[in-house]
Structure 1
Amino acid sequence: MRIALFITCFNDTMFPATGRAVVGLLERLGHTVEFPRTQACCGQMHYNTGYQAQTLSMVRGFAESFAGYEAVVTPSGSCAGMIREHHRSVARKYGDPALRDAVERVAPRVYELSELLVDVLGVTDLGSYFPHRVTYHPTCHSLRMLGVGDRPLSLLRAVRGIDLVELPDATSCCGFGGTFALKNADTSNAMLADKMRHVQSTGAELLTAGDNSCLMHIGGGLSRLRTGIGTLHLAEILASTESSAGSSRAPTPEGAPQ
């Protein structure tokens, strides 16, 4: 299968290890992953902030960069949702017929990581090993827009050595929401406080999710409280093996106690 990686601007800028984990994981399964160098932002920040017409060039660029691939994988339910759902609406409203056709060909082939692994490649046991107590936060776009359901949990349950604990009120939003956290800081912080309380109640060493944006928001709060709880993207847990157990310990969020 010809697979392309859409790293997203957020991961490319701040969490490149997640992209490397995705590639390493898929290569371990016998697949070759290509990285189109013309890729750029999917336009979600602009779209959600009201600049929908201005996303047209980004929609066009994405369709051109990823044309011809059988599957496009991204370690972000948020960006996958933007592409699958909103690129079509932008193309229909502001684009020409050629762009609409190009988006209709590409958008359905874009998958969040757990969707690609479980639904397309048909695997849940990836030979992963991660001997830590972990809890999982289902991010809003992956849960509500993509409907990933228990796919991430089925992958985590197959990880050897993991102590996977349920997160209370898991489906509640963490309060990030991109620019929402900036424009509505008080509301965002109240939602974050609830989420952090639930994370701490699990006794987990680590919180994982399919979006580094949410993990950064929650991890930042946990760091400021000096809880000692780390955050790590789902891809990085799944990429860990017994041979790398010595280095599988999650990085401590900035500002957290060592």
Structure 2
Amino acid sequence: MKVGLFIPCFIDAYFPEVGIATLELLERFGVEVVYPRDQTCCGQPMANSGFEKDAAATEALFVRNFSGFDYIVGPSGSCVHHVRDHFTAVEQMGDVADIRARTFELVEFLHDILKVDAFPWARFPHKVGLHNSCGTLRGLHHAHASELHEPFFSKPEALLSKVEGLEFVTPSRPDECCGFGGTFSVFNEAVSSKMGYDKVQDHAAAGAEYIVSADNSCLMHQRGCAERIGVPMKFIHIAQILNGAEA
């Protein structure tokens, strides 16, 4: 199995440790991983801001970079959601539809494709609050959405439950948006901040030591909110825990 490693631009710039953890984790399971060095932004910020046509060049570059792989895997639910469901600025010909269908977020790739049943190297003896971003929850269907009254399921929880010592704690409003929303946090700063404050306080009230997510953008936003209001919370990407990160 040959996988193209898709590392979103903000992870590359601000959270390279998450990209490294993703690479190492995939290689632990015998996956051949290639990192196309010409990759840049997938075009999500432009598309989300209403400039869909301006994303065409970045989408075309993505197609060129990731043609020929069995799968494309990235540690960002929102970016993968864009590629798979909103990647429409580039002309839909040739490899485009195939690449969109073969692009997976890390959690769903481990759960659905590799069907991983153990992480023997991982130990994380902490109380953890799980944050499913809106894109992963309602776009990629990482877990049941409570407002739909679906039967319970959670792919990230299923994976994290295999980590020794990890204890889940649940906030009172687990599916509530944290307020990041990409450019929403820029153009609606006050609302975004209040939502973030509410979110981290809800996790803190549940007893969480760490908030873990498959979306570093949400973690970045919540960490800033926690620091501003003095909530002593830590934040970590799921790839790091599954790869055996020590607290």
Q: TM-score w.r.t. structure 2 length?
A: 0.92
TM-fit CA distance, 1:163: 1.5
Tell me the secondary structure at the aligned position of residue 68 of structure 1.
Answer: coil
TM-fit CA distance, 1:101: 2.3
Q: What's the counterpart of residue 47 of structure 1?
A: 47
Q: What's the counterpart of residue 255 of structure 1?
A: none
Unmatched runs of 5 consecutive residues or more in structure 2: 144-153
Q: What's the counterpart of residue 93 of structure 2?
A: 100
Q: What's the counterpart of residue 185 of structure 2?
A: 181
Q: What's the counterpart of residue 122 of structure 1?
A: 115
Q: What's the counterpart of residue 239 of structure 2?
A: 235
Do the aligned residues in 2 keep the contact of 1:117 with 1:124 (CA within 8 Å)?
no
Do the aligned residues in 1 keep the contact of 2:197 with 2:229 (CA within 8 Å)?
no
In structure 2, distance between residues paired with 1:62 and 1:20:
20
Alignment of 1:167-206 (within 5 A): 167-206=171-210
Do the aligned residues in 1 keep the contact of 2:201 with 2:231 (CA within 8 Å)?
no
Q: What's the counterpart of residue 256 of structure 1?
A: none
Do the aligned residues in 2 keep the contact of 1:135 with 1:204 (CA within 8 Å)?
yes
Alignment of 1:32-181 (within 5 A): 32-87=32-87, 89-91=88-90, 95=91, 99-127=92-120, 128-149=122-143, 150-181=154-185
Relative to total residues, which structure has the larger helix share, 1 or 2?
1
Q: Deviations over 1:142-200 (max 9, x none)?
A: 00111111100101111101112123211110000111011011211221122122111
Q: What's the counterpart of residue 14 of structure 2?
A: 14
In structure 2, distance between residues paired with 1:102 and 1:29:
27
Do the aligned residues in 2 keep the contact of 1:205 with 1:230 (CA within 8 Å)?
yes
How many residue pairs are counted as aligned between the two chains? 236
Detail structure 1 runs of 4+ shifted over 3 Å in the superposition.
Answer: none
In structure 2, distance between residues paired with 1:136 and 1:168:
12
In structure 1, distance between residues paired with 2:129 and 2:160:
10
Tell me the secondary structure at the aligned position of residue 90 of structure 1.
Answer: coil
Tell me the secondary structure at the aligned position of residue 176 of structure 1.
Answer: coil
Higher relative contact order (CA 8 A, sep 6+): 2
In structure 2, distance between residues paired with 1:187 and 1:29:
42
Q: Are 2:225 and 1:221 aligned?
A: yes
Do the aligned residues in 2 keep the contact of 1:174 with 1:195 (CA within 8 Å)?
yes
Do the aligned residues in 1 keep the contact of 2:197 with 2:226 (CA within 8 Å)?
no
TM-fit CA distance, 1:226: 2.6
Identity %: 38
TM-fit CA distance, 1:125: 1.9
Unmatched runs of 5 consecutive residues or more in structure 1: 250-258
In structure 1, distance between residues paired with 2:98 and 2:186:
35
